[in-house]
Structure 1
Amino acid sequence: MPRSSVAAPFALALALVAGLTACGGEAVHGKPGTAGVGDPYFPKMGNGGYDVTHYGLTLSYDPGHKRLTGTAEITARALQDLSAFHLDLLGLRVSDVEVEGRAAGWSRAGQELTVRPRHDLDQGETFTTKVRYSGVPRTITDADASKEGWLRTADGALGLGEPTGSMAWFPGDHHPSDKASYDITITVPKGLQAVSNGELTSESTKDGRTTYAWHTAEPMASYVATLAIGHYDITRSKARNGLPVYVAVDPEQKRASEKVLGRIPGIMDWEEYNFGPYPFSSTGAIVDRPDDVGYALETQTRPVFPGAPDTVTLVHELAHQWFGDSVTPRSWRDMWLNEGFATYAEWLWQEDHGGDSAQKIFDSLYKGDYYEPVDSSEIWAFPPADPPGPAQISDPPVYYRGAMVLQKIRQLVGDDTFYDIVQGWAAAHRHANADTAEFTAYVEKAAPGKDFSGIWKDWLYGKGKPAHP
């Protein structure tokens, strides 16, 4: 037999053995999921190849040593045949990883935790990944110089995630396009409280430590997940429709916060009337000290505030529960769909409660004499639907010019159709993701015969200040 005839079968046998070994006895058929979803501003965030359906986080925090210990159990569905996949996790030390109860290979590179299951995962398969980790979580400085991630406070810590901070305290698919339900169990020294999203399902103390278990049934993007650890005065009540209201306030902020937080039931009634049924099973607030965090954030069901909020700020963050938390942007380019709606909610509140009308606020912004602490020229720096980079996704055009787009729509279609659009949009994308193109298409379908081309061209996508208000 010629030499080449012997070599070919031998080489083929080696290749088959290698293929079987690579996936534990089965032929290799999958490929790795991508290490990011290609967001225009945060391309490394998120991960391709799977969809997370549930996070089970079991955490323990030691404020004295600033050390977090955690186990993340992540349930997901494979969107392709997977030989490996990625999780976003910045810092913290991983001790081991399991997939479907079996030890998995893993490696770290920057914010990417690459997981290699012992067997390939089939497209459509539901699988569970368990990651054990520990360390001192990082505080992240954003492109706009704000702080997020894990913020150490005077008496504990605060986990905040917009836009990328959640990867500082738990591994996951940290892009807003992948939403999931959550169970967060956190153990802290006795005497401290631990407050998170959703409903508190249990609280127990043993050996000088207290464990709190929180459950969020509705889908939640990781950037609006939160964990607040410290001394809080807790108030439990119900809104007029029976909705549970859970409020946690730093004792130093209690007196200054009482009156405005007491308005939550009334604000919720007003927002439901304007925006449609509330999308979640509880509401409330977390108020920390002003030195602990530099901004308010619409964390799901329980917005966070740096000190006692004013009424308009409370209206803004609660409006986000519809616009941002329930209807979540498909990418960070669509941030105006969050902030434009929440800012417009402020205008509507003022209009309905003895303040300036939304049209008067619009006109004042256009003329440059608006009374809020914003330089009117900043509003025209770029179009709200196309910020120039990650440092600008929370700049004035996204908020104010975004709200002006909504007022232009209202001017064109009238109040009845406008509120049908607002409520219909919130209902059509409830607990889902949406982008600007879907919004403009929805508006045009809801008001046939109206020409929106000038609004989109000049106000939503146009550069500079439009010629006519």
Structure 2
Amino acid sequence: MLLTSRRLRAALLVAASAALVAAVLPGPEPLGIGDPLFPHLGNPGYDVLTYDIAFTYRANSKPLDAVTKIDARATKHLERINLDFTSGTVRAVEVNGGSAEFTTAGEDLVITPRQAVDAGTPLAITVTHTSDPKGGGAGGWVRTADGLAMANQADAAHRVFPCNDHPADKAFFTFRVTAPAGLTAVANGLPVPALRGGAKAAARTWVYRTRHPMATELAQVSIGKSAVLRREGPHGLPLRDVVPTAQRARLEPWLRKTPAHITWMEKKVGRYPFETYGVLMAQAETGFALETQTLSLFEMSMFTDTRYPKWYVESVMVHELAHQWFGNSVTPRTWSDLWLNEGHATWYGSLWAEEHAKQSLEEQMREAYAQSDGWRAAGGPPAAPKPAAPGQQLGLFRPIVYDGSALVLYALRQEIGKDAFETLERAWVAEHRDGTATTADFTALAQRVSGRDLTGFFKGWLYGAKTPRMPGHPDWRSEAPSSRRNAAPAKH
């Protein structure tokens, strides 16, 4: 091909400009938003508004073909764009309609668009990639007996799809899941119409969309030989549970308990915050239950293993339900604020056990107090937890953020009184609904509601190396840990 001299000069200028940019830009590197517990998690420079994620599933041992579309807004001038992503192969990237160069650095996908993106402008990113269910065993996809489910907490969503994988950046989600005939796909939110294909179609595409923003760690997609059981909750709330088809009759006695659990929680803290709720019972060994938004994940064995007392199983169901308010609707701004999630969920699970199964809350809190100093020494105080060991992010979920943090709430109720405490709880989930919040936000609200200066109280209870004296119980002592609790799947 021949170029005219004018075209040649223009081409040379473009090449020179590209070379200058390449010379000025530093080498690709993993970035983060400064979370002290996860320094490379999240990415600066943009705010995600929506995710639209399409998966094509063939078998739980094979990578899924996927396309992730992200609509965002740049918050600063961007020559490069970092997304969190690993455990998949990237095939192509587009930014604002044009193809873009990409590479990887650490667990980041580093994108160089043809043109820099200015602050305040829309940012549309499309990544064509695979999503590998064998992603290294560090969370993300969970392979079940008949398909897949997701367990992305704390930092594993980016092992499934490219994203800004930090709870500080919530967004709306759409999931489009294509699976072979005979399988059912369910995801966060409510179903929307999709093409089913003909009566003999080999596959079907299922589409779900959230009506409220969601953190990436709370995403859920279930694919398997599942039955979706529907019922009505309080105020006409649509409930849907997802269980192995062959086990639906056996599990129904547990599933029918959810409407009463929601009614009980609403009496404590106010209206359920989302468009639907349900329980996903997976045939998998996860070692935990997880509060994925609108569809909480449980091991099916938790409901079929008779070693677990029935009251305990229900208290775990309430624990994950309580997270829909505390952690999902009101999301921690940093991972150091995790105690607000787990402390509250543990609190309401324990309170339910007292009111419905005669499990004394005071005795539960006294036992937690006895172990609290040991928990603080091992994991740090509730609002300043020690980082997990490298590659062991679930190590962040220690007893201090569960019973040790519920103990903080018990102490606060002792300090300000039951009425003020209940007012605080309702105000907290109402004022921060669909948003993110910090420990400082909670302590400020507690002072405003109680009309008291609680600076010293919170300094000791949230940040102290030793557990302060319990208001109303000066005789309580922290001593060697007890082994009285039943061994059971952890609650997230």
Give the TM bin, normalised by the shorter chain.
0.7 to 0.9
- Other structure's SS at 1:54 match: strand
Match of 1:432 among 428, 431, 435: 435
Task: Name stretches of at least 5 consecutive residues in structure 2 with no aligned partner.
Answer: 1-11, 304-312, 390-394, 477-492
- State yes or no: 1:186 paired with 2:184: no
Match of 2:258 among 261, 264, 274: 264
CA distance in 2, matches of 1:196, 1:325: 15
Do 1:180 and 1:221's aligned partners in 2 also have CA atoms closer than 8 Å?
Answer: yes
* Cα displacement (A) at 1:380: 6.0
CA distance in 2, matches of 1:414, 1:356: 21
Q: Measured at CA, do residues 459 and 341 of structure 1 come closer, stay the same or move farther in structure 2, by a change above 3 Å? A: same
Partner of 1:352: 355
**Worse-superposed segment, 358-367 or 173-182:** 358-367
CA distance in 2, matches of 1:261, 1:197: 18
* Cα displacement (A) at 1:422: 0.5
CA distance in 1, matches of 2:245, 2:169: 36
CA distance in 2, matches of 1:77, 1:182: 16
Letter in 1 for 2:298: F
CA distance in 2, matches of 1:440, 1:240: 31
Question: What is the identity percentage for the equivalent residue pairs of Structure 1 and Structure 2?
Answer: 37
* Cα displacement (A) at 1:138: 3.6
Q: What whole-Å deviation, never above 9, does each CA across 1:29-88 have from its counterpart, x for those lacking one?
A: 9x9997211211111111000000000011101106512001111000000011111011
Do 1:379 and 1:396's aligned partners in 2 also have CA atoms closer than 8 Å?
Answer: no
| Mapping of residues 9-408 of structure 1, within 5 Å | 18-19=16-17, 35-63=31-59, 66-134=62-130, 136-142=132-138, 148-202=139-193, 204-206=196-198, 207-251=201-245, 253-289=247-283, 291-307=284-300, 308-309=302-303, 310-367=313-370, 377-378=374-375, 381=378, 382-391=380-389, 392-408=395-411
* Cα displacement (A) at 1:18: 3.9
Q: Measured at CA, do residues 466 and 253 of structure 1 come closer, stay the same or move farther in structure 2, by a change above 3 Å? A: farther
* Cα displacement (A) at 1:292: 3.8
Q: Measured at CA, do residues 247 and 21 of structure 1 come closer, stay the same or move farther in structure 2, by a change above 3 Å? A: same
* Cα displacement (A) at 1:269: 1.1
TM-score by length of 2: 0.83
CA distance in 2, matches of 1:217, 1:121: 29
Do 1:186 and 1:211's aligned partners in 2 also have CA atoms closer than 8 Å?
Answer: yes
Q: Measured at CA, do residues 353 and 319 of structure 1 come closer, stay the same or move farther in structure 2, by a change above 3 Å? A: same
CA distance in 1, matches of 2:14, 2:222: 53
CA distance in 1, matches of 2:285, 2:370: 36
Q: Measured at CA, do residues 267 and 208 of structure 1 come closer, stay the same or move farther in structure 2, by a change above 3 Å? A: same
Number of matched pairs = 440
Partner of 1:5: none
Task: Name stretches of at least 5 consecutive residues in structure 1 with no aligned partner.
Answer: 1-13, 143-147, 369-374
- Other structure's SS at 2:286 match: coil
Do 1:188 and 1:211's aligned partners in 2 also have CA atoms closer than 8 Å?
Answer: yes
- Other structure's SS at 2:343 match: helix
Match of 2:423 among 413, 420, 423: 420
Letter in 2 for 1:389: P
- Other structure's SS at 1:38 match: coil
Letter in 2 for 1:293: T
Q: Measured at CA, do residues 131 and 16 of structure 1 come closer, stay the same or move farther in structure 2, by a change above 3 Å? A: closer
CA distance in 1, matches of 2:267, 2:334: 28
Letter in 2 for 1:460: L
Q: Measured at CA, do residues 152 and 362 of structure 1 come closer, stay the same or move farther in structure 2, by a change above 3 Å? A: same
**Worse-superposed segment, 169-178 or 245-254:** 245-254
Do 1:379 and 1:400's aligned partners in 2 also have CA atoms closer than 8 Å?
Answer: no
Do 2:373 and 2:465's aligned partners in 1 also have CA atoms closer than 8 Å?
Answer: no
Structure having the higher strand fraction is 1
- Other structure's SS at 1:241 match: helix
CA distance in 1, matches of 2:293, 2:406: 22
Do 1:84 and 1:115's aligned partners in 2 also have CA atoms closer than 8 Å?
Answer: yes
- Other structure's SS at 1:335 match: helix
- Runs of 4+ in structure 1 over 6 Å off: 14-17, 20-24, 31-34
Partner of 2:464: 462
CA distance in 1, matches of 2:246, 2:203: 24
